[in-house]
Chain A
């Protein structure tokens, strides 16, 4: 199937199947649901960043007219959490609050206004605890511990891996580059605020509609947190009004309204305020990182050591995975014979961080791509050429045992270099104008599920009948990316019908086969492969029945443009509907299922489960900037981006994913920041989100967005449906470093942190004028008690994928600072 090159649906620009609903206002988002007798929920949140709850008195709230129920932590004795290793959250905090915004109590009332009024009537007494605001404070403050689990003190996760002797590789390099970078946290900011509605059905079972990207994981978590049988819970993921990873985690309010509905026997709705969405967060971790890279004089990498330090906020969430992701994907982009990463995540008294578009990888990608720019400059090489020379090889294994299949990165680089006129611009534009390049790779789906199991990652079911209608069921979740459209297109392609002739039923744990959710760019590949399998299975039945009627061999039956016909003699034909009717006559009720599990990863060491993917996508990006040397004001006139998508399912949507990624990347590069305000500690314990609003958290408007030239490069990957890889996340990654590199080309200063703002540029220019190092960025990387690394020999050095004993090393030499050459 994947080898096919001629398609009727795949690759054609089409109106998405759910397009009409979206432009008529008929798409039903969670907050659009209104049920008879529905009540409304509001949540009381902690005003303190870190405190013990001494008492909660809800009597006045319960007595308030219109209030039906008040819930507190004692109604939720069981913890929950996305990762099995971090079951550290309560839907409502029973005795401890860990950030301003941590939920403490909930009021369910006849309307939202009444519920909000009653919140004011709840009396909570807190015993404040020491506020831990930053990475440095978390490292320096082992007590009080924000959680009583984790590595030690307030270090949540701490891990080290070494693939081959990196110190030796650096020692044999011609140059060793050492840089420290900082990537500020930022948030998803979907325009839709999270909402959820829970109801008890007529049969006594629970149904929850929610703006979630992960109905399956939510289904499991609800069962655990409510101690209610999973078979009696149905989670329906409404189309999300934007997700970007922000609706990937389990949300306390989903559990709260479910409990309330079960308690009251009435529907209960909640819709978060914008401020509460900032508290839900689970966004980009602030990451401090240090990169040491060995380079030959012709620009090849000999080895690299990456140290990362993540500010995790108040809970675990996806943090264990995020920590891994700051390390594991570095070797996928360029040839890197030896690699080491040390990664630690600390708890702080802020909303928990988690997965945002690119999950854990944009931060180290920023560091490496800016460092490569410095390397090219130092070696007198063209940064695009340097990258071209070291692009990872197709069908290879990385130093950390990830299997790369197709890789179209070289073509991507060529395309953006040509389109942007790179060779005429780089180091040639007038002062104040500059151009920068960066590249990236990303997963097409995580190879391992969040919880350990050997079941499929995606399931698809098809139902057909004599009317010719085709209904496809899949747990995948539409978050705007077009998952329903991909599903319909793939089924339509296999069955030779129009995508609009396929009805999609998705994201409903009660009636759709399990799909793990819309995260890690997994949907096209995993759901797509399952859909191909299901569609091919049912096509076989239809072909068999049609062959009887057409008097040809079944393998000679062709499905195209709504017809089923003989390949050699197109006059022997019937409509798809007739063919389905014959099949129903011959085989009875028609249906099929398909499922998909990713290939087994070659790495066998502990932790090898994070990083493997059926395929990796690749992106190259060129950004042009205009920097005013007097004010530091930055303008981005144009961006060129080429993305190796494998194969395009619907070019309209694929382009939208790329341009949306550029948009979000530019926001991160230039202005978006999830930052906090600490009041003077002598006067206050307060630690609040500085700007929890759509006005002050800056997201680019239509006037701020540059022109984007998008190029899709197709290098079909055999592991993927029709060869199609991911497109939703990868294109974001190179944007931030490309901006930083362009700023250097424009005015000769290095901004080694994100966001890159005019004040930082001006500060760097002032240093430059004084003859100091023309750079703004972190000065040092703190001492982190990383563990001894798990040592694994790279494939090229004869390893078998298992951990092994590290080679004998002279310990003091290892810690000797390798001076930047």
Chain B
């Protein structure tokens, strides 16, 4: 547990730690100044998680840490030892899209697709907590994810559609 309690990131050597990423235990070696965003994209090649500012000002890098949407650009990777990380790559079940993914693709919620992974992960956490959120709640939940393409309306509709699908299927996944 306390493997990283003391790390000298001023040294140039990489550090190693383990976390669970999309349900799999991973051991990763990385430069210790890196944020979770950098480790996911650069050291684990999970480039589905995007970045638009690296300062916590856009939401493109949102991932789930222990089920909560957080901004990976502000999370020290060293703080993530032993945590459960979920990224967009872990959303589909094998070849089958998650209902959110299917609804986003079908209903125009992804235009350029760049803010999409962050919104999908945020919406996943919302639906896990509230299977039937109102339009108002959806707006609030994704208010930390900027989208420059859609005007958000088709995103709201896709989240609502996915929620319906998931309720019909009997619960969150």
Q: Chain A: residues with CB nearer than 8 A to chain B?
A: 15-16, 18-29, 31-32, 34, 111, 113, 188-193, 239-244, 273-274, 479-482, 652-653, 655-656, 659-664, 693-695, 699, 701-703, 705, 707-708
Known contacts A480-B149, A708-B151, A694 near B57 by CB under 8 Å: yes
Contact present for B55 and A694 (CB under 8 Å)? yes
Chain B's closest residue to A478 (CB) is B112
Please state if B89 and A479 are interface contacts (CB–CB under 8 Å). Answer: no
Asked if B139 and A23 sit within 8 Å, CB to CB, the answer is no
The listed residue (B33, B51, B57) touching A693 by CB distance below 8 A is B57
Query: Which residues of chain B from 104 to 126 have a CB within 8 Å of any chain A CB?
Result: 104-108, 110-117, 120
Tell me if B78 is interfacial: C-beta within 8 Å of chain A: no
**CB-contact partner of B47 in A25, A663, A705, A708, under 8 A:** A25
Is residue B7 within 8 Å, beta carbon to beta carbon, of the partner chain?
no
Does B18 sit at the interface, judged by CB under 8 A? no
Contact across chains for B105 and A191 when beta carbons are under 8 A apart: no
The answer to whether A191 touches B154, judged by C-beta atoms less than 8 angstroms apart, is no
Q: Are B52 and A191 in contact (CB under 8 A)?
A: yes
Q: Is the interface of A mostly helix, strand, loop or mixed?
A: loop
Bound Cα distance A695, B46 (Å): 26
Distance of A656 Cα from B154 Cα, bound (Å) = 7
3 tightest Cβ-Cβ pairs between the two chains A and B: A25-B48, A480-B112, A22-B113
Complex CA gap A240/B153 in Å reads 21
Given the contacts A23-B120, A274-B53, A705-B153, A694 and B58 also touching, CB distance less than 8 Å: yes
- B114 pairs with A29, CB closer than 8 A: yes
- Contact among B42, B106, B110, B115 for A191, CB-based, below 8 A: B115
Q: Are A189 and B148 closer than 8 Å at their CB atoms?
A: yes
- The answer on a CB contact under 8 Å between A480 and B151 is no
Tell me the bound Cα distance from A699 to B100 in angstroms: 25
A695 to B59, CA, bound (A): 11
Chain B 11-48 interface mask (CB, 8 Å, partner A; 1/0): 00000000000000000000101000000011001111
Question: Is the C-beta of B150 less than 8 angstroms from some C-beta in chain A?
Answer: yes
**B92 CB, nearest partner CB in chain A, Å:** 6
Q: Are A22 and B143 in contact (CB under 8 A)?
A: no
Contact of A190 with B112 in the complex, beta carbons under 8 Å: yes
Smallest Cβ distance from B101 to chain A, in angstroms? 4
Contacts of B55 in A (CB 8 A): 274, 693-695
Asked if A23 contacts B101 (CB within 8 A), the reply is yes
Q: In the complex, are the beta carbons of B47 and A20 less than 8 A apart?
A: no
Q: Mark B40-73, 1 if CB is under 8 A from A, else 0.
A: 0110011111111111011010000000000000
Question: Roughly how many angstroms separate A193 CA and B152 CA in the complex, as a whole number?
Answer: 20
- Whether B48 pairs with A659 at a CB distance below 8 angstroms is no
Is B169 part of the contact surface with A, judged by Cβ < 8 Å? no
Whether B112 lies near A192 (C-beta < 8 A) is yes
List, sorted by A's number, 18 A–B pairs whose CB atoms are closer than 8 Å: A23-B102, A23-B105, A25-B48, A25-B89, A111-B31, A191-B146, A242-B114, A273-B54, A274-B57, A480-B111, A480-B114, A652-B107, A656-B108, A659-B151, A693-B57, A695-B53, A701-B144, A708-B153
Alpha-carbon distance A160/B55, docked complex (angstroms): 46
Whether B112 contacts A23 by the Cβ 8 Å rule is no
> Is A695 in contact with B112, judged by CB distance below 8 angstroms?
no
Contact check, B105 vs A22: say whether CB atoms are below 8 A apart.
yes
Minimum C-beta distance from A241 to chain B (A) = 3
Q: Tell yes or no: B77 within 8 A of A by CB.
A: no
